[in-house]
C-alpha cells in the first residue's frame, strides 16, 4: 500500500469505535491493527490529521497561474507541490482537513474560469486589433495577470478569518516528511508594469468569478476554521 492508502486505512480502523456501533471486541481489534500499521509505516497521530488532494496541472511552476495556486494554498492553510503520478502531471495540496479538499476544488473552479475568460478576451476587439503574434501574447499575459491579481485579493478576503500560521506550519512539516526529496521553486508574483486595457479587463473578469460555491453550498465544506 502507498503511504496515503495506509493513512486512510489507519483512520478507517480508528473510526471503528463503540460509539459508532462496533462491539468492544471489534473496536479493540481495529485499534490493535491501526497501532500495528502505524508502527510498521512510521505514522504518527499528527499524520492522521493531515490529508492531501491532487488535481491535473498544465503549468510548470513559473506562470501567473502558478502564483495563484501558491496563494490558494496559503488561503486554505495548505502547502502545494508539483509531482507526476502514473505519467500524469499533478499539483497536490497538503494540509489539515478540509483544506486540501477546498483547495483542489477551487483550483478547478479558478482554472476553468481563467480559461473561459481568456477565450472571451480573445474574441474581443482589443485582442483582435493586435497585429502580431507577440503583441497578442502580451495582451493575453496582461489580461491573465490582471485577473490573477483580483482573484488573489478575493481569496485573501474570503479566507481571512480562517488563515492559521500554526496550521500552515503543520502542513509544511508534513510536506517535508512525506516528500523529503522535494525542492523549493521560486515563483515570482506577477506584476502589472503598466495598466493597459487588457490588464483592466482581466481585473474585472476576476471580479466576476463566483467563489461562494467553492466554500459552501455546492462545495465540499463550509469554511476552514483555525486560530490566526
pLDDT in tens, 10-57: 878 877 877 778 887 888 788 778 878 888 888 776 666 788 889 999
User: What is the C-alpha to C-alpha distance for residues 27 and 48, in angstroms, rounded to an integer?
Assistant: 18
Backbone angles phi and psi of 91, in degrees to 5: -120, 125
With respect to residue 227, please indicate whether it lies within any of the assigned structural domains.
no
Shared domain check, 53 and 10: no
Strand extents, DSSP E, the chain: 50-56, 78-85, 88-96
Residue showing cell 495540496: 93
pLDDT above 50: residue 98: yes
Return the biggest CA–CA distance within the chain: 76
Domains: count for the chain: 2
User: Is residue 76 in some structural domain?
Assistant: yes
Q: Is the model more confident about 23 or about 79?
A: 79
Q: How confident is the model at residue 73 (pLDDT cuts 50, 70, 90)?
A: very high
Please tell me whether residues 14 and 108 are part of one structural domain: no
C-alpha cell at 91: 499539483
Ranges 17-21, 126-130, 171-175, most confident: 126-130
User: Domain residues for 88?
Assistant: 49-214
Averaged confidence pLDDT in the chain: 83
Same domain, 39 and 70: no
Amino acid at each position: 500500500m502507498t503511504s496515503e492508502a495506509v493513512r486512510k486505512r489507519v483512520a478507517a480502523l480508528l473510526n471503528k469505535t463503540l460509539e459508532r456501533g462496533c462491539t468492544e471486541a471489534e473496536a479493540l481489534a481495529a485499534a490493535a491493527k491501526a497501532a500495528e500499521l502505524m508502527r510498521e509505516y512510521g505514522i504518527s497521530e499528527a499524520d492522521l490529521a493531515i490529508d492531501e488532494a491532487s488535481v491535473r496541472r498544465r503549468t510548470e511552476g513559473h506562470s501567473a497561474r502558478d502564483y495563484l495556486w501558491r496563494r490558494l494554498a496559503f488561503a486554505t492553510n495548505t502547502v502545494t507541490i508539483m509531482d507526476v503520478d502514473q505519467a500524469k502531471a499533478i499539483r497536490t495540496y497538503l494540509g489539515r482537513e478540509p483544506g486540501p479538499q477546498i483547495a483542489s476544488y477551487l483550483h478547478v473552479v479558478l482554472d476553468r474560469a481563467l480559461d473561459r475568460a481568456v477565450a472571451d478576451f480573445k474574441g474581443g476587439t482589443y485582442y483582435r486589433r493586435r497585429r502580431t503574434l507577440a503583441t497578442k501574447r502580451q495582451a493575453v499575459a496582461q489580461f491573465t495577470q490582471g485577473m490573477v491579481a483580483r482573484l488573489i485579493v478575493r481569496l485573501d478576503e474570503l479566507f481571512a478569518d480562517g488563515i492559521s500560521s500554526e496550521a500552515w506550519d503543520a502542513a509544511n512539516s508534513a510536506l517535508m516528511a512525506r516528500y523529503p526529496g522535494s525542492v523549493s521553486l521560486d515563483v515570482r508574483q506577477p506584476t502589472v508594469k503598466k495598466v493597459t486595457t487588457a490588464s483592466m479587463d482581466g481585473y474585472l473578469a476576476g471580479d466576476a468569478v463566483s467563489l461562494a460555491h467553492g466554500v459552501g453550498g455546492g462545495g465540499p465544506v463550509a469554511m476552514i476554521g483555525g486560530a490566526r
